[in-house]
Amino acid sequence: MSPGGAVVIRLYKVCKEFTAGRTAVSDVTLNIERGEFALLSGPSGAGKTTLLRILFGQEAASSGKAVVNGRNIHRMSGAHLAALRRELGLVFQDARLIERIPVIENIALAAEVCGIARSDARRRASELLELVGLEHAAGELPGSLSSGERQRVSLARAIANDPVLLLADEPTGSLDRATALEILHLLELVNEAGTTVVVASHDAGVTSLLGCRTMRMNEGRVVEEVRPEYAAALAAG
């Protein structure tokens, strides 16, 4: 059980103003429970990335309350922030791999940073490479992989610490449709294994492919929410 019980993300009237009078996130109140798969959708500039950055403590909310895995992240810093990040996994549009070390080391390193002993980290990295179908690429440098393969490595790295919560910002943004589908499928597998997953995407195609709880943002606000049963019906056409 997480320190926060069944709710992994609890946002109450969260606002973010970068410059006075221009709100990137406006009055967002929502809860995401352990085990959920949720999508933040909405057009470019809607505030999705800003909201994710607040969740992993890269931006501080201007007002409101944000609790992630039982931790109040308002004005969190230093050791507390580091501890929170060890409980999270992050995936970005660009895979952000370390180019000068082999694929397997990229994943093992992430596990080690989170306190897993080196030999266990290597074993875990091998298992994760198998999960994402890239065991054959363990010893290769990231530069020799396709963008879809790089994103699979990035996903394996993000779950190396067995995170409570996986946050993925435009994880399919630079991929073709078939490869995007593979990544979304892997995210669903990660979710089925128990990790809470929140994906942000401005790609309407992702919304139709996922059929999950969807919170549509516009101009900083959550303007519509579609629950899984309706989303599934919509996705089925």
What is the binding site for ligand ATP (CB under 6 A)?
Answer: 18, 24, 44-50, 202
How far is C-alpha 98 from the chain's CA centre? 19
Cβ distance to ligand ATP smaller for residue 46 or 206: 46
Cβ distance to Mg ion smaller for residue 17 or 203: 203
Residue 45 interface partner, choices ligand ATP, Mg ion, none, CB cut-off 5-8 Å depending on type: ligand ATP
Helices (H), 23-159: 48-55, 78-85, 103-113, 118-131, 147-158
Angle at 220 between CA 216 and CA 226, to 5 degrees: 15
Cβ distance to Mg ion smaller for residue 48 or 71: 48
H or E element: which one contains 208?
helix 204-210
Structure tokens at 82: 């580091």
**Residue that is written with structure tokens 């019980």 in the block:** 5
Residue 93: CB minimum distance to ligand ATP, A:
8
Cβ distance to Mg ion smaller for residue 42 or 64: 42
Q: Which of 23, 49, 106, 214 binds Mg ion (CB under 5 A)?
A: 49
Instruction: Answer yes or no: are the C-beta atoms of 42 and 48 closer than 8 Å.
Output: yes
Residue 119 interface partner, choices ligand ATP, Mg ion, none, CB cut-off 5-8 Å depending on type: none
